[in-house]
Amino acid sequence: MGRNMKTTKRKFKLIAGGLVIILFVAGGVFGAKSLQQDDITLTKFRHASPPINNGGVLVRIEQSTLSFTTAMLVTTGNVDLFNGTEPDKNGFETFTKYKNEIFGGPEDMVWSYPAALEATLKQQRYYLIFKPTVCQILPSFVSNNLSFAQSCKTPKYIELIRQSPAHLATIGMNKADGYTIAGRTNLTLPTTIDLAKQASLSYEPMETLPNLIVASEIRDQLNTDNPTVLEAVRLASIFYTQPIRIGSAGIARTQFNALPIKSRLDLVWSGQSAFQCAGMRDMWLEMAASSTLIPKVRRVGAYNYFPPFKGLVPYSHALAEFWVPEWGKWVGIDPWFGFMFRLDGRLLSATELMQLSSTEKQRMEMLPTTPMIRQYTQSLDGKKPYSSLTVKEAAPPLLSPNWQDGTGTYNMGYLDYFNAVDFGEELSAKGQNGVQEK
């Protein structure tokens, strides 16, 4: 019995020593940098038409390390893997690995979306996941506890929100390869926009618009008598004095834009035409640029990444800014959601939104510019579901730890749009702010 105990102890020492050697080699060969995967970058995402190698999507991944990476495409239907934190490896592995490949260096990954899901679900979530191949061979108690194996616990990923051709057809859109939208990610994505100065344009003085004053409850919350701010808010509040139809239906956009502003408003209020965020923003810009109370305005585009890859749609939103001469700064305004942005009593610009710290994001206020958001859609069968909500009720969350709202749609956190911002030309009434009459 004593001999057996000695033999058992000797075997245990050999096993333990072997494990130490394995861990030493893994740590030395792959290194902390390799396992952390800080250098994984998405450099291409393209819908292939016709399909390439029997696949519909081509993705190129760049990595500068020498280690091999396992790339997986996981299908989850409409299940959201986020519960306020990044999903761990166990969360990903709960679902079907539709594609599973190993590569090193710059590689292409090709797939087609499952036909059964494309035909049945309105929208689907996919996760493209990357982690060091060594994670597959390390014992779980090692990969879960060693700091150099952090990426085994929280892999690199990009969430892909898929809108299939069948889904798009139900809302009157014909796109053979559908849409894939870039969701949440801890990959490196581009966020650089060329902010070269745009030309300045001028408009004729404003035509007659509805005689509207800023509602007292809105003015009380604004807590300012600045005439530029009050005029910007007054113009933004005109849209929702009646329910507006939202969507992309109606007369051709060039024909629509050629009409007087009041005629365009009547078309949208009557349901003969429809708005999306950019259309409403552009009409507000035209109204504000024609006002002698607002020195100048400009469009703002906000994106979760930019410039976009061909075939991978960024989450984006359209808003605007106006210049307040007394404060010497731009102030952001969102006619679509009906609010401006305030932090510690100060109204913010789009650039300031991009620069907010995590604690400042928690303190930022969405300041209403209209009492109610009145909207409706019109489906192909003629149904018109209406909604009449306060700005607070209609607003998206500021941040997006969890997007699922139970309806199969996705509400991205508002501030998560502001990873990249671009600005349009400055617009003003003729003779305003040094703009020469033409």
Length of the chain: 438
Domain locations in the chain as residue ranges: 29-185, 200-434
Most confident of 36-40, 139-143, 384-388: 384-388
DSSP H stretches of helix in 340-412? 350-354, 358-363, 391-394
Provide the pLDDT for residue 96: 76
pLDDT in tens, 59-75: 887 776 656 788 888 88
Q: Is cis: bond before 307, omega within 30 of 0?
A: yes
If one counts every other C-beta atom within 10 angstroms of the C-beta of residue 223, the result is: 9
Q: Which helix (H) or strand (E) holds 242?
A: none
Tell me how far apart the 2 most distant CA atoms of the chain are, in Å.
105
Global pTM value: 0.77
The Cα-based distances of 105 to 59, 62, 238 in angstroms read 13, 6, 55
CB 283 within 8 Å of CB 273: no
pLDDT (average), residues 151-178: 78
Cβ neighbours of residue 93 closer than 8 Å, sequence gap 6 or more = none
Provide the pLDDT for residue 122: 72
pLDDT (average), residues 227-250: 89
pLDDT in tens, 385-400: 777 888 888 888 887 6
Provide the pLDDT for residue 36: 43
CB 246 within 8 Å of CB 278: no
